[in-house]
Amino acid sequence: MLLEGTASSDAWFALAERLRCRARRLGSAVYCLGEWAEPSDDRADLDDRSGPGDDGLELEELRRRRVLRAGRRNPLNWDIDR
């Protein structure tokens, strides 16, 4: 229905929200499984929202990415019913 062009804008907005939530969960899983170095137990592991390649970014892009990285390790964000 959406791709046939007969869906309302409300249907598209609802789909966009569902995709956003699912894409954030997938991004979090990718980060936790492949990009987050296993922490040691001798100190708290706080996420500073940094990432590889940050040194080469313009300030505005760096700020945008750090906002997007907020909560990337929080399993409460994985709850599909939230």
66 vs 1: CA distance, rounded Å: 36
Range of the domain at 73: 8-33+52-82
Distance, CA of 2 to CA of 8 (rounded, Å): 8
Count of domains for the chain: 1
Nearest to 27 by CA among 57, 46, 51: 51
Asked whether residue 75 is domain-assigned, the answer is yes
In a domain, 45, yes or no: no
Instruction: State pTM to two decimals.
Output: 0.74
> Is residue 4 scored above 80 in pLDDT?
no
**pLDDT tens, residue by residue, 21-67:** 889 999 999 999 999 988 889 998 899 999 989 999 999 999 999 99
Confidence band, pLDDT 50/70/90 cuts, at residue 78: confident
47 found inside a domain: no
In a domain, 42, yes or no: no
Who has greater pLDDT, 35 or 6? Answer: 35
User: DSSP labels for 10-77?
Assistant: HHHHHHHHHHHHHHHHHHHHHIIIIISPPPPTTS--------TTGGGS-HHHHHHHHHHTTTTT-GGG
Give the tokens for residue 1: 């229905």
